[in-house]
Amino acid sequence: MNRAGVTIEVKNWPPFFPVIHHDIANEIPTHAHQLQYSAFASWLGIVVCLSWNVFAVLVQSIHGEDIVLFLLAIIYAAFGCPLSYILWYRPLYQAMRTDSVVTFAQFFVFYSVHVGFCVIAAIAPPIIFMGKTLTGILVAIDVLNTDMFVGVLYLIGFVLFTAESLISIWVLEVDAHFIFSFLSTLLLP
C-alpha cells in the first residue's frame, strides 16, 4: 500500500486501547501545535463534562428523580462524545494537516454549535425536563434546596461546563484569527 502512495494511519490513541490515529507533534505544522493541543483539550473537556453529567444525573435519579433524566444524560454522552470528535475535532486536525479551507469551515460550523451547547449546558435553562438533564447553574441552585449532595455534584458540573465554554470560546477565537491569517496569505500576493 505504501508503494502505491496510500498512507495507512496506525491507531495509536489512547495508548491503552488505540481507537484513533493521533499525532499532533509529527503531523501538525509547528506554528499550529498550540491551537491543535488546545482543541484537543477542548475535546477531552467535553468528554469529561458529559461523563460528569451522566454521573450527577445518575445520582439524582437514585435519589428519587425520574430515570428518564438519566437516560437523556446517557444519550447526550453517547452521541456527544463521538459526534464532537467526528464533526469538529477530526476536521480541524485534518485541516491543520492539509490546509483545507472547506474542512476549516466545517470545523467552524460544528464548533460553534459545540460552544452554544456548552453555554446552554452551563446555564441549564428549564426547557427539557426542567433542565435537570444537564448540570447547569439554574438546576444546581434548585437542587441545592432539596438535596445538598446532588446540588454540589450539579455545581461541579456547572463549573466544568463553564470552563469548557470559556476554553471553547478561546479556541474558536484563536482559530478564527489563525484561519483569517491563512486566508489573507492566499488572497494577497
pLDDT tens for residues 17-52? 888 888 898 888 888 889 899 999 999 999 999 999
DSSP at 135: -
Query: Is the residue at 58 inside a domain?
Result: yes
Structure confidence at residue 72 (pLDDT): 94
Model confidence band, residue 2 (pLDDT cutoffs 50, 70, 90): low
Query: Is the residue at 19 inside a domain?
Result: no
Query: Is the residue at 45 inside a domain?
Result: yes
Query: Is the residue at 16 inside a domain?
Result: no
Model confidence band, residue 9 (pLDDT cutoffs 50, 70, 90): confident
Structure confidence at residue 189 (pLDDT): 57
Structure confidence at residue 4 (pLDDT): 60
Query: Is the residue at 74 inside a domain?
Result: yes
What backbone torsions phi and psi does residue 16 show, to the nearest 5 degrees? Answer: -80, -20
Structure confidence at residue 130 (pLDDT): 80
Structural domains in the chain (count): 1
Structure confidence at residue 36 (pLDDT): 92
Mean pLDDT across 62-68: 89
| Long-range CB pairs of 70-77, under 8 A, 24+ apart, other chains included | 72/128, 72/129, 72/133, 73/133, 73/134, 76/50, 76/133, 76/134, 77/50, 77/51, 77/53
Top pLDDT among 74 and 8 is at 74
Domain that includes residue 73, residue range: 29-187
> pTM surpassing 0.75?
yes
Cα–Cα distances (Å) from 60 to 57, 123, 127, in that order, read 5, 18, 18
Query: Is the residue at 8 inside a domain?
Result: no
Query: Is the residue at 7 inside a domain?
Result: no
Query: Is the residue at 24 inside a domain?
Result: no
Structure confidence at residue 82 (pLDDT): 96
